[in-house]
Structure 1
Amino acid sequence: MDNFTGEPQTSIAGLPVIIIGSGCTGLAIAHGLKKAGIPVIVFEKKPVVFSPGERDWNMGLHWGMPILKSLIRDSAVQALQSTQVDPNTPTKPFDTIKFLNGKTGEVITSVPSPDFHRLRRSKLRALLCKGLDIRWNKRLKDIVFGHDGSCVTAIFEDGEQMMGRLVVGADGSRSTVRESILGPDLAPPLRLPYASTFAQAKYTRQQALFLRSFHPLYIAAVHPDNMFAFFGLQDAPAINKPEDWTFFFYISWNSPFEQQVKEAKTYGNNERLAQVKSLSRGFTEPWKSAFEWVADDQPVWYFDMAVWDPSLLEHTWDTRNGRVTLAGDAAHPMTFQRGQGLNHSMADAAKLVEALTSEPNQIVAIQNSELEMKDRAGEEVRSSVANTTMLHDWNRVLESPLMKAGLQQNR
């Protein structure tokens, strides 16, 4: 590692931008750079874009959709409809998300959700992988910075080395790049005293029609016992085959750290499912039946929530002369109840591409990009914590950013 702090001595012309991670953030950045004529290579630790049985989920994209469209090629824009949870039904220009009293079923409020897209992560990634130089099965081992201050080399566990002008860490909330530039003490996300268990399931035709009758795409609930729940569609490949529809749903609750540690040592899948099934029995429909109808060995996944605020002074990282930066969940993992993560990731991508294409001095470009990102996303991370806290406190639910601001961007 070098300690160079002066001006670059060697031309970076022709060197690629190295992106670590083929999530939606990294792929969006790669497309934006490619459109701008900047060489870019994506490195992904997994062997393929999506493996059978791999965990999949869906994401909300609303104010970030025009940003994504500006980064990708026209043919990909036209294909975005195919990545929606219901590819057969166009997104409504204006819709609302109903929030129920999770115990009684009474509607608490309806939050406006204009141009709200629910996208399957696996399908969106598969679409965005097209037309890019992606190197699979490449797990990052180290980042070495050239002594002249102009280049950087990514070293992978299989021995391959790639020299570039910039490394972009877009490798998720447990980012290897973030740990590399900040160290093991500052890089880990801040754990919160909340937990959630997610499920995906198919049902009989009659059951599926019943569950979807509450809303064709999504519905949420806040429970007086300080719990939050979401229910939505994950995949509807055919309109007339409800038995092939997959639903995606979860319950989240207060979970002290001591309880999280204890459960981590003793709980497997069946215990997690039994736990959330027990909670669901006190819920209104569709959660009550959705959990009741799944088999007792239904695969689920559990999250203890965590965040990382890039705007904190102690989280300031050295860009090493504008040669390393972070984006997306690698830069600002946040809680998910307000559905802002993917939107901010798209904003990160656009701002980084804009900075690299409009500012010839890469040091200044990265400074400008990070200054905007840290301010914008840092505010959203803090807002997400406040939102999650209030949604799990029945007496403060209506004060939460979700109830007050809906899905709007903080600014």
Structure 2
Amino acid sequence: MENKEANWTICQECQGRGKKSRGLSNKARLRYKRELNQFEKTQGVGTAPVRPKGHLHTCLNCNGSGLVHSATPPIADPENYPHVAIIGGGIGGVALAVACLHRGIPFSLYERDNNFNTRSQGYGLTLQQASKAIEGLGIFSLDEGVISTRHVVHTTEGKVIGEWGIRKWVESDAKTFSKRTNVHIARQSLRLALLEQLGGHTKVQWGHQLIDFKEHGNKGVDLSFQVNGETKHYKADLVVGADGIRSSVRRLLIGEDNTPLRYLGCIVILGICPLSALDGLTNPLLDSATVFQTANGNERIYMMPYTADSVMWQLSFPMPEEEAKALSAQGSHALKEEACRRTQWHDPIPQIVAATLESQVSGYPVYDRELLESGLLQKSGSITLMGDAAHPMSPFKGQGANQALLDALTLARSISKGCRPLSEWREAGLRKSVLTDFESEMLERSAIKVQDSAEAAAFLHSEIVLHEGDEPRGRCLKKK
């Protein structure tokens, strides 16, 4: 299915969820009835039985995407739905705007950057769980996406100590071919694909830095932005902070003292290198379908396809926080020198790092935050968080963008369901109608990802990474 020049609206058969309930089986229905009768006989002593949910199956009308073609663009429905102010025009924020657009939910998307290209080209993303979720955003093909089919782990001398992926397992288990693939794509390429679904760059309020908000119960939220040296004011029914690990919404909402930034003990240096810069170097690791990493128990480099003709590398190693801040502040020249000095390892690593332009090198100390407890948000009324603003994590499990995309789709579906006609959400309030359940699901789903990503920051820079086995690094710890 083509992405461009296509209008989408939600599938009426599944109400945009992509799945339909088969209903309860007779056995489950009778069991629940017996348990309920027993509970009523005891006059409410004990815990009331929970009505079981029917099994879900993929909606055949939309093939599980929740979307169907529309002859015209969806029209926003301010009578039935709240106006959503999305703070942050990154992957998660744009994805939420797209999901709202498909459902006729009115929105405004605010981004502090002055335009799409304000920031550098950025890093590469690996879509895992979100590979299916992006179909729910109207993206059925990623022209810039690259699929990896092999993952190899080496010592610094080049000895293979682990290998997995389709090309290793396909002969023994051909059924995994279509399921166990990761899609690698440049962050800006995915962001641009989402903006195309939204209708272009003009759908974003660029250059808007949030400075304050004030809630008026169920009567909406007043927002104040700094725009070109002036203060501008807007109103919204629902405010969503999708503005990253240093979220202004989060700071204004719960303060910086609650779950402050937590340094994970290491620094990351990133680089993007075109294969054409390698002076004809040929290596089976550079086939645009292989991900590989090399480690020595302290430093670790990870390389993946960035586009069909370039690779992205990520070097990480332990460093005291103040030293990591200082190195990052020195800029790309110092970061590249440090990377070259630490990676005189097997081919093609030294050649790739050396050939990377300084303009394509960046680096930063790695932070996350302790898990956010839903109780901190319960008094926040019609304001919520998503993506890195809600559950920032280290980059070592590649889950940040995946979770943000899932958050966006889940929240839009929750608004569509909780604010449907006759729901009386204005009287009940958006927290009760939508946000409490959304936050509970989001925080429960992302908690293990935050934890695993923090643990990876430790074991990827320890002797554990050198464990020999054809499995992702750290899995041996799960077996103990």
- TM-score of the two chains, using structure 2 as the length reference: 0.70
Any unmatched runs of 5+ in structure 2?
A: 1-77, 167-179, 420-424
Match of 1:317?
Answer: 377
Q: Secondary structure at the match of 1:284?
A: coil
Pairwise CA distance, 1:140: 0.9
Counterpart selection for 2:349 from 287, 296, 303: 287
- Hey, what's the Cα distance between the residues in 2 that align with 1:268 and 1:26? 28
Instruction: Count residues with an aligned counterpart.
Output: 368
- Hey, what's the Cα distance between the residues in 2 that align with 1:217 and 1:141? 44
Report if the CA contact (8 A) 2:298-2:317 is conserved. yes
| Amino acid in the other structure paired with 2:336 | L
- Hey, what's the Cα distance between the residues in 1 that align with 2:164 and 2:234? 47
| Amino acid in the other structure paired with 1:98 | V
Match of 2:151?
Answer: 97
| Amino acid in the other structure paired with 2:372 | S
Change (3 A) 1:16 1:397: farther
- Hey, what's the Cα distance between the residues in 1 that align with 2:370 and 2:466? 23
- Hey, what's the Cα distance between the residues in 2 that align with 1:208 and 1:343? 35
- Hey, what's the Cα distance between the residues in 2 that align with 1:134 and 1:278? 42
Q: Secondary structure at the match of 1:81?
A: coil
Q: Secondary structure at the match of 2:224?
A: strand
Counterpart selection for 1:382 from 428, 432, 451: 451
Match of 1:185?
Answer: 257
Change (3 A) 1:126 1:395: closer
| Amino acid in the other structure paired with 1:221 | Q
- Hey, what's the Cα distance between the residues in 1 that align with 2:349 and 2:224? 47
Matches within 5 A, 1:232-251: 232-236=304-308, 245-251=309-315
Identity within the alignment, %: 20
Report if the CA contact (8 A) 2:325-2:364 is conserved. no
Asked if residue 195 in structure 1 is aligned to residue 267 in structure 2, the reply is yes
Which deviates further from its counterpart, 350-359 or 162-171?
350-359
- Hey, what's the Cα distance between the residues in 1 that align with 2:122 and 2:110? 20
Deviations 1:301-353 (A, max 9, x none): 1121111233357x8234532x1111111111111122112221122112212
- Hey, what's the Cα distance between the residues in 1 that align with 2:264 and 2:251? 20
Match of 1:356?
Answer: 415
| Amino acid in the other structure paired with 1:347 | L
- Hey, what's the Cα distance between the residues in 2 that align with 1:211 and 1:399? 23
Report if the CA contact (8 A) 2:260-2:370 is conserved. no
Report if the CA contact (8 A) 1:305-1:335 is conserved. yes
Deviations 1:108-138 (A, max 9, x none): 2224472311111112212211335321111
Which deviates further from its counterpart, 129-138 or 381-390?
129-138
Q: Secondary structure at the match of 1:160?
A: strand
Report if the CA contact (8 A) 1:201-1:294 is conserved. yes
Deviations 1:130-171 (A, max 9, x none): 33532111111111111x433112211132222111111111
- Hey, what's the Cα distance between the residues in 2 that align with 1:317 and 1:250? 34
Report if the CA contact (8 A) 1:272-1:300 is conserved. yes
- Hey, what's the Cα distance between the residues in 1 that align with 2:328 and 2:355? 26
Change (3 A) 1:189 1:402: farther
Counterpart selection for 1:32 from 79, 99, 102: 99
- Hey, what's the Cα distance between the residues in 1 that align with 2:157 and 2:363? 26
Matches within 5 A, 1:12-411: 13=80, 15-51=82-118, 54-70=120-136, 72-73=137-138, 77-78=139-140, 80-84=141-145, 86=146, 91=147, 95-101=149-155, 103-112=156-165, 114-130=180-196, 131-132=198-199, 133-146=203-216, 148-158=217-227, 159-186=231-258, 188-202=260-274, 204=276, 207=279, 210=282, 213-236=285-308, 245-261=309-325, 263=327, 267-281=330-344, 283-294=345-356, 297=358, 299-312=360-373, 316-321=376-381, 323-360=382-419, 361=425, 362-364=430-432, 365-395=434-464, 398=467, 402-403=472-473
Report if the CA contact (8 A) 1:309-1:378 is conserved. no
- Hey, what's the Cα distance between the residues in 1 that align with 2:297 and 2:117? 38
Which has the higher Rg, Structure 1 or Structure 2?
A: 2
| Amino acid in the other structure paired with 2:411 | L
Any unmatched runs of 5+ in structure 1?
A: 1-10, 237-244, 407-411
Q: Secondary structure at the match of 1:200?
A: strand
| Amino acid in the other structure paired with 2:353 | F
Change (3 A) 1:221 1:247: closer
CA RMSD, aligned part only? Answer: 2.8
Report if the CA contact (8 A) 2:83-2:107 is conserved. yes
- Hey, what's the Cα distance between the residues in 1 that align with 2:272 and 2:417? 44
Change (3 A) 1:60 1:324: same
Change (3 A) 1:352 1:190: same
- Hey, what's the Cα distance between the residues in 2 that align with 1:325 and 1:100? 43
Pairwise CA distance, 1:232: 2.5
| Amino acid in the other structure paired with 2:234 | M
Change (3 A) 1:211 1:16: farther
Match of 2:73?
Answer: none
Pairwise CA distance, 1:264: 5.4
- Hey, what's the Cα distance between the residues in 2 that align with 1:346 and 1:19? 14
- Hey, what's the Cα distance between the residues in 2 that align with 1:123 and 1:396? 31
- Hey, what's the Cα distance between the residues in 1 that align with 2:113 and 2:464? 44
Change (3 A) 1:111 1:291: same
Match of 2:61?
Answer: none
Pairwise CA distance, 1:194: 0.7
| Amino acid in the other structure paired with 2:121 | R
| Amino acid in the other structure paired with 1:170 | A
Change (3 A) 1:370 1:206: closer
